[in-house]
Structures are given as C-alpha cells and as structure tokens.
Copies of this chain bind each other. A is one copy, B any other.
Amino acid sequence: MNSTALQSLLERLFPLNRSLTGDGNRETLRILQEAIPDLKVTEVPSGTPAFDWIVPKEWRVKCAYVETLEGERVIDFNSSNLHLVGYSKNFSGVISKDELLSHLHSIPELPNCIPYVTSYYDDYWGFCVTQQEIAKLDEEFYRVVVDTDHFDGSLSYGEIYLEGESTQEIVFSTYICHPSMANNELSGPILAAALAKNLKERHTRKFSYRFLFLPETIGAIYYLSRNLNLMKERTLAIYVLTCLGDNRSWSMINSQSGQTISDKLAEFALRDSGKKFVQYPFTERGSDERQFGSPLVNLPVATIMRSKFGTFPEYHTSMDNLDFVNGENLAESLTLLDYLVEIHEGNEVYVNVVSAEPWLAKRGLARKNKENRFQESNEKLLMDFLAYADGNNSLVDIAQILKVSFREVSTVAKQLLQLELIKSKN
C-alpha cells in the first residue's frame, strides 16, 4: 500500500463512531476487509465472561444533543462523535445551566479542542466540548437529549492469520475502539492491515503471522481468555501497534523483563532507522501490552510507536485529526514495520564452514588495490562477518557488533552462502 492508499483508508475510517462495541466497529472491520479479505470478524455476545471481566452490553447512539428551549442546538453528536461521552446512558430533560455544566468536559488549556472522554462502566451521561463553546452558554435552562441504547448485543473483533513454514507466530495487535481519532488509534489498524497485505503478497514466510484488531483492554482480555495456551506455545514475538501516524521520532515500550526477542528486534529495527528513538520501560505501558505482558500471561510483547500515547498535546483530543496524521507518515511507518518483518524472517544463525580464514584470492575476492597501508580493504565486511559467524551470533547480533545495518549483513550472508563459506546453524 502506498501513501495514497493509506490516506484514502484513513479518510474513510476517520468519521466512524468506534467504541468497545457497536456498528462503528463493524463498519471499520468491513472497510479493512476490503483491503485484506483474509480478515475474519468474530462477534462475542454481551455477558460472556473473560478472565476477571464480562463482555459489556452493546452501545448504540441514535442521537444526542443539547439545545436551548427555543430549539437552537448548541452541542450535537452529529457534528462530531467526540461530543458525546463514550457509553453515555439514555437521558432527556430540561436542566439548569449549572447542572448541564456538571456534565460537560473540556480542556481549559486547549480552548479550541474537544476532549475524548469515556464512561464505560459507570451510570453516567456527558458531553465533551471546547472551552469556547462553554463560554458561550448564556441561557438559564437547556434541553438535553441523549438517545442511546445499552442492549445485549456483541463485541466485534478482527483477526488475520497468514500461515508460514513454521507454526511459530509473530503477532501484531492493534485496537479499534476510539471514535474519530487519527494517531491514537487509526494509524494502528490501518498499518496492521497494510502490513498484512504486504506479508500476504510475500513469496515465502518463514514464520506465521497473526494480526488482531481488538477493542482495547476488554478485547485483548477476551482474546487471551480463549487463546492463551496456544499463544504461549506459538508466539515468538508480539507487537502492539499504536500512534504510528504522526511525523515525530520513533519510540517503543519494552516488555516487563526488557529481555525478550521482541525487545531486541524492535530496538534494533528502530535504532537502525536512523531517526531519533525513545525507549520507555514497561512501567510506562498503557495499551494492550498491559494485558499481553501481565504476569500470568507473560507474552514477549513490545509496543511500537512514533510519539507515545499520553505524551503529545493532540492525544485524546479533536486535534488528533487528519491534519496531524497523513498517508505519507503512515507509509514511512509501514516501511519500518516491513523492515522489522524482514529482520524476523532473515535473522539466521550461521557458522563457518572452513577453519581459519578462507583464501579469498583463489575466489577472485581479495582486494585489487595493493597499497593497503591504511584504507579498509574491500573484503573487510566479509571477513568481519566470518569472524563472528560462530554458531552463536544471529545476523542481528553480528550487525550490532559490526555497527552496520541488517541489510548489509544479510547481503554478506547471501554472498558467503553462495561461496559455501558459511552454513546455517540448524
């Protein structure tokens, strides 16, 4: 997918009213299916237990607004789905301005922004508005209509499974529960779908790949409650994808131990990208790594981001929009994710075939320049690779030792394999 295709997907998905459940989520998954038909949708009935939790009732918004007694609408869900607090209960009535104010949410320090607020497990209704809109409220009474339904429906999630030569899996998990917000969260599902599409088109896959499109927290917990043993058996690495649509530095959140293969390869790929790179410990977690990395689950999880959620001013506001995120940024992130996949697929362990250094001259590979006083000889990277291809170091290890990119060590490895100077350890 190029930046135009990514931009177009972004524009189609942005207006939908995603939440823990509901038609906004179903429509989101349907649009992603157009891009990658392997995406399967599962519906989980409300009330289904999942570890310590229960799948919530489905939430549907018919309409929601505040109007003057003369019928002038001053807040309307139709103009932005951020206006209504997520999972607001049904309510209608005429109330005083003061009572209304106790149900309004704004960000005083960002007077032009609508905040994003939810109230999933609380008996509450509320509206989110800009500080400027609050300033304009000058009537004594307002009519409030929140026409919503909480009913026994289902929670929807998406899953793509691409089989590879090994049943060992690389998992990418992302979430679909935020209404019109572009970086946190749409960048995640769009890139997961695009990455899956690229992998689907790949000639061979050494590993199997799984992509999860889950409502955050309850979706991940439900999925784990049904698949934990299989995931423990098969998951080589799991990455949470989020906040990948802005144009700032790369960042990642490490696993609890910081020592898994996910930590190692994500850090390597991000460093190798050349961009500024920020590494956060597990104490700074906040998305579904909270579940995947919890003690009894303990999967090798790392979270890959550009600006980390909770650290950028646009976070959870109406500023997290299509001015902030675009197809070009997404395309750059996709290149990084493709690179991470390439590293997983290619990270072999090799060992020398001949004892001591090989005789490159007889293969026509020795340096042509005889004045070898100080300059690097042409064969230096080749010989350096051999010096560390000891059956213990993977390509990533060697790249780190030699301070070169993964592509450079991969190219050398291919050349040495052809020359029969190295062989795979297995």
* Residues on A facing B (Cβ under 8 Å): 51-54, 85, 105, 107, 115, 117-122, 124, 126, 217, 220-221, 224-225, 228, 256, 282-283, 285, 290-291, 293-298, 310, 315-317, 351-352, 354-359, 361-362, 366, 370-374, 383-384, 386-391, 401-402
Q: Are A361 and B290 in contact (CB under 8 A)?
A: no
Most buried by B among A296, A310, A401: A296
Interface of A is mostly: loop
Q: Are A357 and B290 in contact (CB under 8 A)?
A: yes
A374 to B308, CA, bound (A): 12
- List of B residues within 8 angstroms of A366 by Cβ: 121
Q: Are B295 and A351 in contact (CB under 8 A)?
A: yes
CB within 8 Å for A285 and B387 given contacts A355-B297, A361-B121: yes
Q: Are B52 and A105 in contact (CB under 8 A)?
A: no
Known pairs A85-B370, A295-B391, A296-B356; list 13 more (Cβ under 8 Å). Answer: A52-B357, A52-B358, A52-B359, A105-B371, A107-B373, A117-B372, A225-B355, A256-B390, A283-B402, A294-B355, A294-B356, A294-B386, A298-B390
- List of B residues within 8 angstroms of A225 by Cβ: 355-356
- List of B residues within 8 angstroms of A362 by Cβ: 121
- List of B residues within 8 angstroms of A298 by Cβ: 390
The residue in chain B whose Cβ has the minimal distance to the Cβ of A383 is: B290
Q: Are A294 and B352 in contact (CB under 8 A)?
A: yes
Q: Are B221 and A357 in contact (CB under 8 A)?
A: yes
CB within 8 Å for A115 and B356 given contacts A283-B401, A390-B256: no
CB within 8 Å for A256 and B387 given contacts A117-B371, A120-B361, A356-B220: yes
Q: Are B402 and A354 in contact (CB under 8 A)?
A: no
A217 to B310, CA, bound (A): 58
- List of B residues within 8 angstroms of A85 by Cβ: 370
19 residue pairs of the A-B complex, CB under 8 angstroms, read: A52-B359, A53-B359, A85-B370, A107-B371, A122-B361, A221-B357, A225-B356, A256-B387, A256-B388, A282-B387, A291-B357, A293-B387, A295-B351, A295-B386, A295-B387, A297-B355, A310-B373, A315-B373, A317-B373
A166 to chain B, nearest CB (A): 26
- List of B residues within 8 angstroms of A355 by Cβ: 51-52, 224-225, 228, 294, 296-297
- List of B residues within 8 angstroms of A371 by Cβ: 105, 107, 115, 117
Which listed residue, B53, B282, B352, touches A295 by the CB 8 Å rule?
Answer: B352
A283 to B402, CA, bound (A): 7
Q: Are A296 and B354 in contact (CB under 8 A)?
A: yes
- List of B residues within 8 angstroms of A358 by Cβ: 52
Q: Are A357 and B310 in contact (CB under 8 A)?
A: no
The residue in chain B whose Cβ has the minimal distance to the Cβ of A373 is: B316
A360 to chain B, nearest CB (A): 9
Most buried by B among A52, A85, A351, A388: A52
A51 to B115, CA, bound (A): 71
Q: Are B295 and A390 in contact (CB under 8 A)?
A: yes
